[in-house]
Amino acid sequence: MQDKMFVSPDKYLQGAGLLERSAQYISPFGNKILLISDDIVWEIAGDKFAKYLSNEGFTVKRATFNGESSANEVDRITDIGQSNKSEIIIGLGGGKTLDTAKGVSENLEGTLIIAPTAASADAPTAGLSVIYTDDGVFDHYAYYKQHSDLVLMDTQVVAGAPVRTLISGIADAFATNIEAKATEKGFGATFNGRGGVPTQAGLAIASKCEETLWKYAYEAVISNQNKIVTPELDKVVEANTLLSGLGFENGGLAAAHSIQDGFTAISGEVHKLTHGEKVAFGTLVQLVLQETPHEELEKYLEFYTTLGLPVTLEQMHLDKITDEEFTKIGEKATDPNETMSNMPFTVTSDMVINGMKAASAIAHQFIQTHDIKPLFHNPVLGKISGPSIKD
Ligand SMILES: [Zn+2]
């Protein structure tokens, strides 16, 4: 039998207005804080948070994040931390800010505090970063010795963030259980860079994540549209961040994320879409590849369509790409380094391409025969035209 592995951050805290109650949780770790945030987040939440921390007696040095989680940016901010003898590194913002903070804290051997300002993806709790080149091209995953010491999830801040970010997080989180179940079936590896097959704990968390989203996603989106923290929004923020984060790291990724990675092999309008939106389509393709029965597939299509997530090639801006580009996506998605290898059967490049076309055609049929009123109109999706992709 293979060894099992389970990893997690040390502490996770979630609540409305949490940032401005956080001194009690931060103070055991020291006094000198390096606060990393970009200019936009600084205006919305950073300035206020820094003032609060200063009033509580902390010494706060701000490092302005330049927008790319690259090796150079990690080194640049590490230098700022070093010259200020920072003990505590706080990343405040979106995925790339948080990924940079993780690298800086590993270099400085300081306390790492992760404070997401949206529930848009499941990276905050993970012990890894996606490192890009300075020009924003994917470079590598950096796996760290330690997970974060503290994750601070302020639901009041999330309630004020754009609805599209919450829906992207729901889509990313919705893939978690589908991929974890495939990984378990395929005796695949967890996603922490050190191998190990999923624990029952990891799989149970992934399953709870999906259950929570089926029950409360729509109410959470409506709460976010009205900028209100409700019990439903609170549950979905936890699903998007903690349950999905622990679920993917300890359950493993499979086809859905490999297909999203496949899109990086081409350029074009597909990159107007967020990580979660691309994962939504990748998930649909995985469901088709693993022969999900019609009735079940329709439940997923209803869920995605109601949330304004992309289910067709047109919506993904992929309806006019060349055969060569399809091949590039298929080949990247089935690269031996991709998590496609966690699938319980061999998936070839042609299967990915056919799966994308089939998923889109099935979604067309669904949209024509069902009267779905989306909760959210995503202006970035391509328009669906004609009765089917063949016409
Ligand atoms: Zn993801």
Which tens digits make up the pLDDT trace of 106-123?
999 999 999 999 999 888
pLDDT digits (tens, 9 = 90+) for 41-58: 999 999 999 999 999 999
pLDDT digits (tens, 9 = 90+) for 314-361: 999 999 999 999 999 999 999 998 999 999 999 999 999 999 999 999
Q: Domain spans of the chain?
A: 12-159, 163-369
Band of the pLDDT at 1, cuts 50, 70, 90? confident
Q: Which CATH class is domain 12-159?
A: alpha beta
What share of the chain has pLDDT > 70, as a percent?
Answer: 98
Q: With beta carbons less than 8 A apart as the criterion, state whether 92 and 45 touch.
A: yes
Band of the pLDDT at 203, cuts 50, 70, 90? very high
Q: Is 268 annotated as a binding residue?
A: no
Q: Is 150 annotated as a binding residue?
A: no
Cα-to-centroid distance, 51 and ligand 1 (Å): 33
Cα-to-centroid distance, 109 and ligand 1 (Å): 27
Q: Is 257 annotated as a binding residue?
A: yes
Query: Is 163-369 a CATH 3.40.50.300 domain?
Result: no
Looking from the CA of 378 toward its CB, the CA atoms found within 13 Å total: 26
∠ CA 129-311-384, rounded to 5°: 130
Measured distance CA(93)–CA(359) in Å, rounded: 34
- What the block records as the tokens of 134 is 């300075």
Q: With beta carbons less than 8 A apart as the criterion, state whether 117 and 124 touch.
A: no
pLDDT at 388: 44
Q: Is 141 annotated as a binding residue?
A: no
pLDDT at 82: 97
Q: Is 350 annotated as a binding residue?
A: no
Helix, strand, or coil here: 114? Answer: strand
